[in-house]
Chain A
Amino acid sequence: MDMSCVDEVLTCADPERWQPGDSWLAGGTVLFSYGTDITQGPPRRLLDITEAGWTPTQWRCDASGEPLELEIAATCLIKDIFEFRANGPRLPAHTDRVLPGLDLFAPCCDSFVASWKIWNASTIGGNVATGLPAGPMISLLSGLDAVALLWGPRGSLRAVPVADLVVGEAQTTLEPGELIRSFHVPIAALTQPCAFRRISLTERGRTAALIIGRRLGADTLRLAITGSTRRPHIIDLGPDAAHAATCAGLQAAIDEAVAGVWHDDIHGTPQWREAMTHRLGAEILTELLDPAEPHPRFAARTTGDITMTRSTR
């Protein structure tokens, strides 16, 4: 909708020029869908960062050419995330890495309640900066241990894990004038086996719970709980963690992390989100760890409407 509160639109990605009453404009699909900035109130000026010329995606390597991380610009479009497997930059030719983590990109894009048409305008940074529990890019990046690089006024530069950047519904730890420059996904996270589960109250509807799991080692798991909670929660399971990588361990770890603060809105009651989080978590545990005695009901069970397709690459 029209943002009739706005007096001026500037092309600008410089935090020095930010003034109180300004909002950073990326894809615009959230700002224009509410006609206001739900994180800080109606803006007087929009600072459009999409012409900053940032490279959407690139591999960062060390001096020897070994890849360290995938850098994703905040202005990278969702369609570029969706198509990354097919069209994104390739790893340097000499590295022969299998990257299962890239399989998470497409189902996370499909987890937007909005359509693929939105992908042509929405950005990954915008989704994170909005900070909604159902933000699927928050899920994706939290699930891959991604770190956000933040630019602030007076040359401030901060690196914050995405899972810590979002702290509540439409709440982030972004300071006034701070913007997200990029996300950095460690290569290690992309190389680990991963699993994806999501459920909504309706087919392809708004995410009510989205869980991404990774196997860090033989009996070690990391789960990112999103959608059902007001902020991402990262749970480690295994011999070195507080809870074992078992169904009981998972249940205890979830309860401890979430501490009863389940998200509550029209897209699912807290009780249901809690039950679904446990259910999806158990499926991920089973899928990734293949425990010696899997619960028969979990074996090969995939709850939800969006599934991850495993790539062989």
Chain B
Amino acid sequence: MTTTEHTPPATAPGRPSATVDGRTVTVSPEPGQCLRTWLREQGATGVKKGCDGGDCGACTVIVDDEAIHSCLYPAHRIAGKSVTTIQGLGTPEDLHPVQENFLAAGGFQCGFCTAGMICTVAAMTEADKKDLPRSLKGNVCRCTGYRTIEDAVAGHRNVDPGFRGIGANTGALAGPGVVTGTVRYTMDLRPDELPAPLLHGALVHATRAHARILAIDTTRALAEPGVIAVLTHEDAPAKRFSTAQHEIVEDDPKDTRVFDDVVRYWGQRVAVVIAETQRAAERGVRLVDIEYEDLPAVFDVELADAPDAPAIHPDAGPDAGIARPGDNVLAEVHHEIGDVEAALAASAVTHEATYRTQRLSHMALETHGAIAWTDDEGRFVVRSSTQVPFLVRRALSRIFDLDPDRVRVYCERVGGGFGGKQEVLCEDVALLATMATGRPVRLELSRKEVFTATTVRHPFRMRVRAGADETGTLTALAVDVRSNTGAYGNHGPGVLFHGVGESVAVYNAPHKKVDAMVLYTNTMPSGAFRGYGLSQMIFAVESTITALADKLGIDELEMRRRNIIGPSDPMLSAHDEPEEDLLIGSYGLDQCIDLVSSALDRGRTRWAEHVAAGHGEDLGEEWNIGEGHAIAMIATAPPRGHIAHAHITLGEGGTYELRVGTAEFGNGTSTVHAQLASTLLGTTTDRITLKQSDSDVVEHDTGAFGSTGTTIAGKANDLATKDLIARLQALAAPHLGARPEEVEIAGDYACVRVPADLNARFAAVVGPAGGRRAVHLDVLLRESLAATGEAPTGSGYWGGEPRSVAFNVHGFRVAVNMCTGEVRILQSVHAADAGVVMNPHQCRGQVEGGVAQAIGAALYERIIVDEETGRPVTDILRQYKAPNFADIPRTEVHFADTHDAVGPQGAKSMSESPFNPVAPALANAIRHATGVHFTATPLTRDAIYAGLAEAGVLEQ
């Protein structure tokens, strides 16, 4: 806090006080301030702002022995009380038992929920701990899928002690910081670290779906005490850009301004109020008066290209990258291999259905936010919650016509991403505000803003037609797709092309047809979301394959075995030729299918034995049981280039500094990077210091999306480390009287193995020598410094090509209540082909987290936009069902045994892809339980009830 009138005095004799983590603090909050904000102002930044509405639990603290949600607790009420936050429970040196358990179980990924999770568990009774579906219902973890959290509560250890390399379940290096609330996220910067007093920004959002702004009157807002400035389209650069970030800028249409004079969706940002306090900024927002001229709007993607539909970007020129602006068509692809119509006509069976998927919110626990300022050298610095710091820097320098050297963008730990932070959604405004005011400015989006004015998963409408012969061999597969990009085209083309890619290419069919379009509507923009178009398309294609199998009376997995591509088949979808840079570097799809199939077999037997033995209750006659499966293929990296640089430098005492560009947001790549390097260097991960996600640290890094943290940045790291080893070998060779290639780097030494006979003679003279000759790495370091002034450094670069493919298969056994529509997941099995698994604990966590998020997407989650007015309806977490502990079953996770020819040390990607087969596997299981083919997600109880009623199979 920086202002004069609202800042509580550090000490105020006679004023009420409270104890915060053992410190006595004067209680003098702003009127209406919640305890969470007040605690963070007192330096207790371990307390996190997640949903800001009492539903996620990230802000949980303990007040006089009782756990409370501090975002709901009036701060003035804390006077005379004692607060314990995550930082007061324990420290990295002296952990609280619950912190120790979360560390040992690896009960976190991004860690943004962890502080609240640990405070909640610390306040539980033993009885509470035995009923976690009930006692954890006020805590949301978006990353883990809850299995490791359950393990943490139970005191189960998942993380291997020590710091071992590839193949070990090594814990995150940041773990002690995460469980003690001391690791820093974007908004945890102390104001005194900034060069000048901090200002706060708050956005003004449009309340029209399509309108021209005639006037913005800022008079009343500027009169609000503390308000410094209001910036609007008149202050913003005219240049258009895309909020989406890819290596190739032209992949996304240039259709967005920092602030525009045309509103294209309800919720679009139209101005920023900058003030001395967050409170003043928020009060100012309510006082900005905007005069609109309404324009006709279109919300339905089916009508978006109708002749009478209003064009949403009518003035876009040829360089904007919009296929047909007059028709609202952003991008399209139409392609046919063979003759689908003839093949369908000649097929023994055909299936046709239209599938729909809904808008989803990423619901990363940390909202988007950025802090921008000018450093001592006159450079603009932007600290942001981003997956793509380097691309953000590039975007900012383009938008504001700055030399890239004048902009630095970085992030510390990011509280979840899931694709939602592969966008520039607040960095540009923060930079504009700091340019306008000359002071540091912080812009943190509220949860409501994330729900209503960032991005969602693209809603897809997919008409699928497919046929097969009597033996179950596919004859034809045709998809007709409409994707709704919303008011702006960020990620629209990429999501569409990716969506219709691997989903269709995983099957051999002689006749294929793709007709796909992505169109603008006056609704909130869609964007990158875990799976990137595949989760939508795979829902449709996999539901179709099962429907065909059922028509033929063939087992649905057998149907898939007959039709999936083999290790040397071409991957074909929307083009005649396969993509040149996409290879099957390893093939484990067949293994994955077998793993899921056999696990479900075992589960079925177990269930029957269990019930027969009288252990489980018989579900009763209302419940029907069914099994369902689905498969998924995904490229291990995005197409058309994905770049990473890495450098690794030898330090004192056998330590290394590893510099990579990629960001850590719970994906676990930081651990994998340390494991990759330490394995090659014959050392342990605690010797590796990682510097990352800072545009100052390496030349360039396309970023952490498309599951590239391991496959691309890991590959650069692999090359850099091997480069360093070569340098060390060269330096050590003269010391050891050996050729460089004979030198091994291990621990603190470079050494050569001595033949046994030589060793025996050597030992006879000078005593036991351990079978090797060695030189300490410090010697090499000093030598290098003396000779060149620099420590030995290895460098690596990977351009992202060629790429491989990873596979995922999911299977469910479910029970469906034929009267109520309730679904119970009786068994959940996932098999993944991730190549060589770098860190089984973490990789399993990625799979479990992806499955959990996908169960939410399949059964509950939905962002609702009023189809009549375009007004967003879902604006608080309570209206958006992100799965809680009670909603997520334990999923059996199996890995295929493969070694990838492309990926670093045989590894493949595994963060997006587990999401993709889950919804169709659930829908197929529900189909087999009920006999009803459901074609839309989410499959909520009321939707299933309606489907059963419509099909006439509802029981009363």
Chain A interface residues toward B at CB < 8 A:
1-9, 25, 27-29, 32-34, 46, 48, 50, 110, 113-118, 120-121, 199, 201-206, 265-266, 268-269, 271-273, 275-276, 279, 297, 303
In the bound assembly, the distance between CA atoms of A266 and B873 in angstroms comes to 10
In the bound assembly, the distance between CA atoms of A4 and B859 in angstroms comes to 36
Within 8 A of A (CB), among B877-897: 878-879, 881, 884, 886-887
In the bound assembly, the distance between CA atoms of A4 and B67 in angstroms comes to 25
Q: Are A202 and B71 in contact (CB under 8 A)?
A: no
Residues of B within 8 A of A3 (CB): 31-34
Per-position 1/0 for B129-140, Cβ under 8 A of A: 000011111110
> In the assembled complex, how far is the CB of residue B537 from the closest CB belonging to chain A, in whole angstroms?
26
Binds A, one of B72-80, B329-337, B721-729, B766-774: B72-80
Contact of A202 (CB < 8 Å), options: B68, B446, B887: B887
Contact of B881 (CB < 8 Å), options: A1, A4, A34, A202: A202
Interface residue B30 (Cβ < 8 Å from any Cβ of A): yes
Given contacts A2-B278, A33-B876, contact A8 B31 (CB under 8 A): yes
In the bound assembly, the distance between CA atoms of A46 and B30 in angstroms comes to 12
- Smallest CB gap from B879: residue in A: A266
Interface residue B282 (Cβ < 8 Å from any Cβ of A): yes
Q: Apart from A201-B942, A268-B942, list 4 A-B contacts with CB within 8 A.
A: A3-B33, A8-B31, A33-B72, A203-B133
Given contacts A6-B32, A50-B77, A117-B60, contact A303 B820 (CB under 8 A): yes
Given contacts A9-B76, A29-B72, A34-B876, contact A204 B884 (CB under 8 A): yes
In the bound assembly, the distance between CA atoms of A275 and B945 in angstroms comes to 9
Residue picked from B286, B864, B878, most chain A C-beta under 10 Å: B878
- Smallest CB gap from A271: residue in B: B946
Q: List 16 A-B contacts (CB under 8 A).
A: A2-B282, A4-B32, A7-B31, A27-B72, A28-B77, A29-B54, A29-B72, A33-B53, A117-B60, A117-B66, A120-B67, A201-B860, A204-B137, A269-B946, A272-B946, A297-B621
In the bound assembly, the distance between CA atoms of A83 and B33 in angstroms comes to 30
> In the assembled complex, how far is the CB of residue B940 from the closest CB belonging to chain A, in whole angstroms?
5
In the bound assembly, the distance between CA atoms of A205 and B881 in angstroms comes to 8
Q: Are B133 and A118 in contact (CB under 8 A)?
A: no
Contact of B886 (CB < 8 Å), options: A25, A204, A268: A204
Interface residue B283 (Cβ < 8 Å from any Cβ of A): yes
Interface residue B57 (Cβ < 8 Å from any Cβ of A): yes
Residues of B within 8 A of A7 (CB): 31
Q: Are A28 and B73 in contact (CB under 8 A)?
A: yes
In the bound assembly, the distance between CA atoms of A266 and B383 in angstroms comes to 36
In the bound assembly, the distance between CA atoms of A25 and B876 in angstroms comes to 21
Q: Are A120 and B32 in contact (CB under 8 A)?
A: no
Per-position 1/0 for B18-46, Cβ under 8 A of A: 00000000000011111001000000000
Residue picked from A46, A118, A206, A279, most chain B C-beta under 10 Å: A118
- Smallest CB gap from B124: residue in A: A116
Residues of B within 8 A of A279 (CB): 819-820
Q: Are B33 and A2 in contact (CB under 8 A)?
A: yes
Given contacts A25-B74, A34-B876, A117-B68, contact A1 B279 (CB under 8 A): no
In the bound assembly, the distance between CA atoms of A187 and B68 in angstroms comes to 33
Given contacts A118-B69, A266-B879, contact A6 B53 (CB under 8 A): no
Within 8 A of A (CB), among B748-780: none
In the bound assembly, the distance between CA atoms of A206 and B859 in angstroms comes to 15
Given contacts A117-B69, A204-B134, A266-B862, contact A1 B34 (CB under 8 A): yes
Q: Are A120 and B66 in contact (CB under 8 A)?
A: yes
- Smallest CB gap from B864: residue in A: A266
- Smallest CB gap from B875: residue in A: A34
Tell me if A's interface is mostly helix, strand, loop or mixed. loop
Residues of B within 8 A of A275 (CB): 820, 945
> In the assembled complex, how far is the CB of residue A227 from the closest CB belonging to chain B, in whole angstroms?
14
Residues of A within 8 A of B30 (CB): 2, 4
Residues of B within 8 A of A268 (CB): 941-942
Residues of B within 8 A of A8 (CB): 31
Given contacts A1-B446, A2-B34, A117-B69, contact A33 B279 (CB under 8 A): no
Q: Are A34 and B53 in contact (CB under 8 A)?
A: yes
Contact of B138 (CB < 8 Å), options: A5, A50, A115, A276: A115
Residues of A within 8 A of B53 (CB): 1, 33-34
Per-position 1/0 for B70-96, Cβ under 8 A of A: 011110110000000000000000000
Q: Are A28 and B72 in contact (CB under 8 A)?
A: yes
> In the assembled complex, how far is the CB of residue B542 from the closest CB belonging to chain A, in whole angstroms?
24
Residues of B within 8 A of A118 (CB): 54, 69, 72, 138
Q: Are A1 and B68 in contact (CB under 8 A)?
A: no
The 3 closest A-B pairs by CB, nearest first: A115-B138, A6-B32, A3-B32
Q: Are A2 and B279 in contact (CB under 8 A)?
A: yes
Residues of B within 8 A of A114 (CB): 54-55, 69, 138
Residue picked from A3, A46, A115, most chain B C-beta under 10 Å: A115
Q: Are A201 and B881 in contact (CB under 8 A)?
A: yes
> In the assembled complex, how far is the CB of residue B58 from the closest CB belonging to chain A, in whole angstroms?
12
Q: Are B137 and A46 in contact (CB under 8 A)?
A: no
> In the assembled complex, how far is the CB of residue A193 from the closest CB belonging to chain B, in whole angstroms?
25
Q: Are A266 and B874 in contact (CB under 8 A)?
A: yes
Q: Are B32 and A115 in contact (CB under 8 A)?
A: no
Within 8 A of A (CB), among B122-176: 123, 128, 133-139
- Smallest CB gap from A25: residue in B: B74
In the bound assembly, the distance between CA atoms of A39 and B892 in angstroms comes to 47
> In the assembled complex, how far is the CB of residue A278 from the closest CB belonging to chain B, in whole angstroms?
9
Residues of B within 8 A of A265 (CB): 879
In the bound assembly, the distance between CA atoms of A8 and B30 in angstroms comes to 9
Q: Are A32 and B71 in contact (CB under 8 A)?
A: yes
Given contacts A32-B73, A199-B820, contact A117 B67 (CB under 8 A): yes
In the bound assembly, the distance between CA atoms of A265 and B1 in angstroms comes to 40
Residues of A within 8 A of B848 (CB): none
In the bound assembly, the distance between CA atoms of A34 and B878 in angstroms comes to 11
> In the assembled complex, how far is the CB of residue B121 from the closest CB belonging to chain A, in whole angstroms?
12
> In the assembled complex, how far is the CB of residue B657 from the closest CB belonging to chain A, in whole angstroms?
41
Residues of A within 8 A of B475 (CB): none
In the bound assembly, the distance between CA atoms of A9 and B940 in angstroms comes to 42
Residue picked from A2, A7, A273, most chain B C-beta under 10 Å: A2
Interface residue B52 (Cβ < 8 Å from any Cβ of A): yes
Contact of B32 (CB < 8 Å), options: A9, A27, A202: A9
In the bound assembly, the distance between CA atoms of A48 and B60 in angstroms comes to 23
Interface residue B821 (Cβ < 8 Å from any Cβ of A): yes
Interface residue B924 (Cβ < 8 Å from any Cβ of A): no
Residues of B within 8 A of A48 (CB): 74, 76-77
Q: Are A117 and B32 in contact (CB under 8 A)?
A: no
Q: Are B940 and A115 in contact (CB under 8 A)?
A: no
Residues of B within 8 A of A117 (CB): 57, 60, 66-69, 120, 123, 138
In the bound assembly, the distance between CA atoms of A32 and B37 in angstroms comes to 12
> In the assembled complex, how far is the CB of residue B42 from the closest CB belonging to chain A, in whole angstroms?
15
Q: Are B878 and A206 in contact (CB under 8 A)?
A: yes
Q: Are A32 and B74 in contact (CB under 8 A)?
A: yes
Residues of B within 8 A of A27 (CB): 72
Contact of A201 (CB < 8 Å), options: B31, B876, B940: B940
In the bound assembly, the distance between CA atoms of A1 and B940 in angstroms comes to 29
In the bound assembly, the distance between CA atoms of A273 and B946 in angstroms comes to 11
Residues of A within 8 A of B67 (CB): 117, 120
Contact of A272 (CB < 8 Å), options: B77, B136, B283, B942: B942
- Smallest CB gap from A306: residue in B: B134
Residues of A within 8 A of B884 (CB): 202-204
Q: Are B820 and A32 in contact (CB under 8 A)?
A: no
Q: Are B283 and A5 in contact (CB under 8 A)?
A: yes
Residues of B within 8 A of A5 (CB): 32, 283, 286
- Smallest CB gap from B821: residue in A: A272
In the bound assembly, the distance between CA atoms of A266 and B876 in angstroms comes to 12
Residues of A within 8 A of B942 (CB): 201, 268-269, 271-273
> In the assembled complex, how far is the CB of residue B56 from the closest CB belonging to chain A, in whole angstroms?
10
Given contacts A50-B77, A276-B820, contact A116 B72 (CB under 8 A): no
Residues of A within 8 A of B862 (CB): 266
> In the assembled complex, how far is the CB of residue A296 from the closest CB belonging to chain B, in whole angstroms?
10
